Copies of this chain bind each other. A is one copy, B any other.
Amino acid sequence: MKLYEMRQAPNPRRVRIFLAEKAIEIEKIEMNIQAGDHRTPEFLAINPRGLLPTLVLDDGTVLDESMAICRYFEALQTEPNLMGKTPVEIAQIEQWQRRIEFDGLSSIASVYRNSSTFFANRAVPGNLPDTVQIPALAERGKLQTQHFFEYLDAHLSKSAFIACERFTVADITAFVCTDFSRWVKLSPLEAFTNIKRWYDAISLRPSIKA
């Protein structure tokens, strides 16, 4: 199988850390979004959405959502468990993972895609017609990001990990989200001591360098 990805981008990084935690090695193909590699006819024939990461299985099956790719590997190789064992664990990890995606990652992406000069005419990721940036959306994204980090910090004041008192995929999403916030100068690491303590602890895992 082959994983199309881009080292700099947050979503491919989530999958790389996940694979490193499971010690799974697969072929990786580096793409350059800034050069438009994800919008070539060749790549769009593989993934019409033009999103990374994209995993192509040996039988040609294409998986292009980070969490779908992670679930594939979680089911294929169950240990170390990163997505829950009991019904309550599975649900807790999923809900934190999604809270961080929707309230955190998406808000930061809103700021980035609607303010970065590079994306001036492509404010929406993937293979959509050109879309102009909406400055008001970048401003709204800043408020949402701040609100999210306040909420996350309060949660981490009571817990060493994001969910289930152990390292899970929710920590991966939150860690990548925290690093992504630096791209738009909204890092929580100075103002939020609980996030900082959790971040420093997670940073020590070898998978983070994947």
Q: Which A residues are within 8 Å of any B CB, using their own CB?
A: 48-49, 57, 61, 63-65, 67-69, 71-73, 75-76, 86-88, 90-92, 94-95, 98-99, 103, 123-124, 128-129, 131, 134, 136-137, 140, 143-144, 147, 151
The 17 listed contacts between A and B (C-beta, < 8 Å) are A49-B103, A49-B151, A61-B88, A65-B99, A67-B94, A67-B98, A68-B98, A71-B87, A71-B94, A75-B91, A124-B144, A128-B143, A128-B147, A129-B147, A131-B140, A134-B134, A136-B137
Q: Nearest Cβ distance between residue A93 and chain B, in whole angstroms?
A: 8
Residues of B contacting A67 with CB < 8 Å?
A: 94, 98
Q: Is the CB of A68 within 8 A of B95?
A: yes
Q: Nearest Cβ distance between residue A156 and chain B, in whole angstroms?
A: 14
A164 to B73, CA, bound (A): 18
Q: Nearest Cβ distance between residue A168 and chain B, in whole angstroms?
A: 13
Question: Which one of B65, B88, B147 contacts A98 once the chains associate, using CB atoms below 8 Å?
Answer: B65
Q: Nearest Cβ distance between residue A186 and chain B, in whole angstroms?
A: 16
Question: Which one of B76, B131, B151 contacts A143 once the chains associate, using CB atoms below 8 Å?
Answer: B131
Question: Which one of B75, B91, B95, B123 contacts A90 once the chains associate, using CB atoms below 8 Å?
Answer: B75
Residues of B contacting A87 with CB < 8 Å?
A: 71-73, 75-76
Q: Is the CB of B144 within 8 A of A92?
A: no
A32 to B206, CA, bound (A): 48
Q: Is the CB of B94 within 8 A of A68?
A: yes
Q: Nearest Cβ distance between residue A71 and chain B, in whole angstroms?
A: 5
> Which has the most chain B C-beta neighbours within 10 Å: A68, A69, A88, A140?
A68
Q: Nearest Cβ distance between residue A16 and chain B, in whole angstroms?
A: 17
> Which has the most chain B C-beta neighbours within 10 Å: A75, A91, A94, A103?
A91
Q: Is the CB of B92 within 8 A of A61?
A: yes
Q: Is the CB of A90 within 8 A of B65?
A: no
